[in-house]
Amino acid sequence: MNEQEIEIDVIKNKSIEVATIMKHLGHPKKLIILCSLFDNSKSVGELTEICEIGQSQMSQFLKRMELEGLLASTRDGNHIYYQIIDERIKSVLNNLKTTFCAC
């Protein structure tokens, strides 16, 4: 097996995982959520305000990203806080920032 065939096998094995991450990065509101969580955790209310969407839709986005292993949640009283737990997301966000937000 040559190097190119090995690389294709790796891509095939990781394609679903990568597609899941890209699905979230490809949605404008989910991208804003992830960028907002880059440095620290935020509550559902804070994220709802930042993204200017309803709490129901925000909860659905956050729950899906949590189920897919991108985020984790913690409860503090009546508030639920989310944070990025997949460090690969931070790496991709850094690359996006460098590519698209550099002045």
SS3 content of the chain, % helix, strand, coil (to 5): 65, 15, 20
Residue-range definition of the domain harbouring residue 25: 11-95
Q: What is the pLDDT of residues 13-45, one digit of tens each?
A: 888 888 989 999 999 999 999 999 999 999 999
Does pLDDT of 4 surpass 90?
no
CA gap 65, 69 in Å, rounded? 6
* 71 in a structural domain: yes
What CATH number has the domain bearing residue 30? Answer: 1.10.10.10
* 1 in a structural domain: no
* 103 in a structural domain: no
Q: What is the pLDDT of residues 57-82, one digit of tens each?
A: 999 999 999 999 999 999 999 999 99
Beta strands across the sheet bearing 71-76: 42-43, 79-84, 71-76
* 24 in a structural domain: yes
Q: What is the pLDDT of residues 81-102, one digit of tens each?
A: 999 999 999 999 999 999 988 6
* 101 in a structural domain: no
Split at pLDDT 50, 70, 90, the class of 103 is low
Burial degree of 80 (CB within 10 A; 0-12, 13-18, 19+): middle
Total domains in the chain come to 1
| pLDDT computed for residue 62 by the predictor | 97
Smallest CA-to-CA distance from 65 within 29, 103, 95, 101 is with 29
